[in-house]
Chain A
Amino acid sequence: MSLTIQIPTPLRRFTGERGEVQVEGATVGEALRRLVDQHAALQPHLYTEDGKLRSFVNLFLNDEDVRYLKQENTPVQEGDTLSIIPSIAGGGLR
């Protein structure tokens, strides 16, 4: 399956400033690994050292948060769009 991965602005510096990357893959996890194969500098921003997806990274397959689907095992269809959405949080005092 060929799908489009949308890269958020903060991660674009690791994809040669590309906002969209086309990859092949049967699942969300496979597509993400192909993305990281192509753009290795993304690795530490998407995965922890033991290879788990970072908790500050949200993935949407079309409109659905993959946490509520089958996470990284979620199957993808030809032409799907996978959006990487970084968590945005913070606040004043510790």
Chain B
Amino acid sequence: MSLIHGEARDRGLRIADADLERIEAHGEAAYPEECCGVLIGREAAGDDPATVEQVVAADNERADSRHNRYVISPQALLRAQREARERGLEIVGYYHSHPDHPARPSEFDREHAWPGTSYLIVSVLEGKAVDRRSWRLRDDRAAFDEEAIVTAGTRRFTAASRS
């Protein structure tokens, strides 16, 4: 099944093991609060999945309920977007952790999410990252669809290669 819903084709999210480990470590360090950050890379093209080239940790700007809520400041997002574009890259998604909760989007996540981008969630149980899953919101906002996380065969690009 290649077409899940409209144009939401499940091509997955490609990410290096080291970057996934960095996200998990961020989730463990932030426990019992939620961590969050930005995934910078290349959009899906043809049959290639979206590819994460860089993980940018962000501060959880929530003043309250940090154990089950996160917000990334618009200023941090503007900075991330600018840095990405200077390297010929894009924001391809965002990550956050769910302390003592499964790596599935909550109703609150759905209400605040945008279609057309990846939401990677790490489940951190009692301080240990135990699961990680990536999701995309449908265009009609009715639900998230899970997408595969592809870690094998990932090449790291350190220099900007503009197209």
Contacts and interface: CB of A to CB of B under 8 A. Distances in A.
A94 to B, nearest CB: 6
Given A10-B117, A12-B116, A90 B81 contact: no
B65 A91 contact: yes
A90 B90 contact: no
Contacts, number: 90
Interface in B1-55: 7, 34, 36, 43
A93 B68 CA distance: 6
B157 interface: no
Given A6-B81, A93-B106, A94-B108, A65 B74 contact: yes
A85 B119 contact: no
Given A9-B90, A9-B92, A90 B78 contact: no
A83 B91 CA distance: 14
A11 interface: yes
A28 to B, nearest CB: 15
A90 B105 contact: yes
Interface string A72-94: 00000000000101111111111
B107 to A, nearest CB: 6
How many interface residues does chain A have, given as a range? 20 to 34
A30 B36 CA distance: 34
B81 A8 contact: yes
B143 interface: no
B112 A92 contact: no
Contact of A19 (B34, B90, B94, B117): B90
Interface string B65-94: 101111110110110010001000011101
B74 A85 contact: yes
Given A10-B114, A92-B108, 19 more contacts: A9-B90, A9-B91, A11-B114, A12-B116, A58-B77, A83-B78, A83-B81, A85-B78, A87-B112, A88-B36, A88-B71, A88-B77, A89-B69, A89-B72, A90-B105, A90-B106, A91-B34, A92-B100, A93-B101
19 contacts: A9-B116, A10-B116, A11-B116, A13-B7, A13-B115, A65-B75, A85-B77, A85-B78, A88-B71, A89-B112, A90-B96, A90-B109, A90-B113, A91-B65, A91-B68, A91-B69, A91-B106, A91-B109, A92-B68
